[in-house]
Structure 1
Amino acid sequence: MKTLLNVIWLVLSGFWLFLGYMLAAAIMCVLIVTIPWRVAAARIGVYALWPFGKEVVDRPTAGVGSMLGNIVWVILAGWWIALEHILSGIALCITIIGIPFGIANFKLVPVALFPLGKQIVDKR
């Protein structure tokens, strides 16, 4: 079932969200100082490409550095990726079939805003 959901997600919004995250990762590389944020952008981008069967959890070792890094992330890229999730979620909620995928997009907004201090794990 999760494979079917992932394929539908990929077609409806996953690919475009993935491209947004990869654009953010490329921008982070260009700015040199923000290269560590590229890793977070790529990690969450791959998750946004194929999210069903995985979940985002808080990393227990995250501290003040993650919080400060998230502030920089929100300023540079997080706000427009979160906006991408919100717009995609609204568009998907127009149809009955798209409502679960729209809700999944809304659940990704906090991750898009604050990706540092999070890790992606398989659901068990």
Structure 2
Amino acid sequence: MRLIGNICWLLLGGLAIALAWTLVGIVLCLTVVGIPLGVQALKMARLTLTPFGRQVIYGGGLGSWLANLLWIILGGWWLALAYLAAGLVTMLTVVGIPFGLQAFKMARLALMPFGSSVRVAVL
């Protein structure tokens, strides 16, 4: 089911979004100041490429909390809001529910990427 979900996800726009996140990450990594933000954008690209069968582990300490606060102020809340809206629209149909759940997972990561890691889900 993961394979089918990821293939459908890629064909229905996931590939374009992952490429956009990758481009943003590369551009941010061109500057020394932007490297931490670029790494987070590349983390989002990895999750956006194949969201089915992956889980996000949240953690970190005060440094991650402060970095997430800065991220939210600089635009992370817009990204999370966009993923949340996409998830709500997608969940209007029964077929779209699994895709909406993946969008909600990405919304949370888009809001708080520092201190988190993306891993393959263990059953």
Scaled to the shorter chain, the TM-score interval is 0.7 to 0.9
Change (3 A) 1:71 1:23: farther
Checking the alignment, whether the CA contact within 8 Å between 1:29 and 1:35 is kept in structure 2 is yes
Q: State percent identity of aligned pairs.
A: 37
Aligned to 2:10: 10
Equivalent in 96, 101, 104 of residue 103 of structure 1 = 101
Change (3 A) 1:27 1:79: farther
Note the C-alpha offset of 1:69.
0.9
Change (3 A) 1:58 1:90: closer
Unaligned runs of 5+ in 1: none
Aligned to 2:62: 64
| Worse-matched range after superposition: 49-58 or 76-85 | 76-85
Q: Does 1:35 align with 2:35?
A: yes
Checking the alignment, whether the CA contact within 8 Å between 1:21 and 1:81 is kept in structure 2 is no
Name the Cα RMSD after superposition. Answer: 2.1
Give the number of equivalent residue pairs: 122
Checking the alignment, whether the CA contact within 8 Å between 1:57 and 1:118 is kept in structure 2 is yes
Q: Does 1:115 align with 2:92?
A: no
Change (3 A) 1:28 1:80: farther
Q: TM-score, normalised by structure 2?
A: 0.82
Q: Does 1:84 align with 2:93?
A: no
Change (3 A) 1:106 1:91: same
Unaligned runs of 5+ in 2: none
Q: Distance in 1 between matches of 2:22 and 2:71?
A: 14
| Worse-matched range after superposition: 15-24 or 114-123 | 15-24
Checking the alignment, whether the CA contact within 8 Å between 1:85 and 1:109 is kept in structure 2 is yes
Q: TM-score, normalised by structure 1?
A: 0.82
Name the SS of the counterpart of 1:38 in structure 2: helix
Change (3 A) 1:66 1:43: same
Aligned to 1:74: 72
